[in-house]
Amino acid sequence: DQQVKQNSPSLSVQEGRISILNCDYTNSMFDYFLWYKKYPAEGPTFLISISSIKDKNEDGRFTVFLNKSAKHLSLHIVPSQPGDSAVYFCAAQTGANNLFFGTGTRLTVIP
């Protein structure tokens, strides 16, 4: 049973526009959330995270929003660039170390 869900397998956005990737989770015990980015033939790389005590975390063009009551988080990329084209994984963890990953969303930024 998937505890972390990414319901959109793919997303296409024009360069310069905003990309919004969504993620839902079911386990209310999750207290830390992360986004990973994955290019073909490479392992996922950490992008940005947020603790459950916050509702927003920003790092440059990347912002993650957390809505605990809805058990929903989103990643905003603005402005989107062609180099952002990749698969994005949402992940969540409790106090223990193991991460639960979603199935990923493939973002394509069109020049």
Partner 1 sequence: DAGVIQSPRHEVTEMGQEVTLRCKPISGHNSLFWYRQTMMRGLELLIYFNNNVPIDDSGMPEDRFSAKMPNASFSTLKIQPSEPRDSAVYFCASSPQYNEQFFGPGTRLTVL
Q: List contacts with partner 1 (CB under 8 A).
A: 2, 6, 34, 36, 41-46, 49, 89, 91, 95-104
Choice between 51 and 67, CB closer to partner 1: 51
| Residue 76 near residue 65, CB atoms below 8 Å | yes
Minimum separation from the CB atom of position 40 to partner 1 (A): 11
> Beta-carbon neighbour count of residue 101 at 10 Å?
17
Choice between 29 and 110, CB closer to partner 1: 29
Minimum separation from the CB atom of position 101 to partner 1 (A): 4
Minimum separation from the CB atom of position 111 to partner 1 (A): 27
- Please identify which residue in the block is written with the tokens 């020049």: 111
| Residue 88 near residue 63, CB atoms below 8 Å | no
| Residue 75 near residue 63, CB atoms below 8 Å | yes
| Residue 91 near residue 75, CB atoms below 8 Å | no
Choice between 38 and 76, CB closer to partner 1: 38
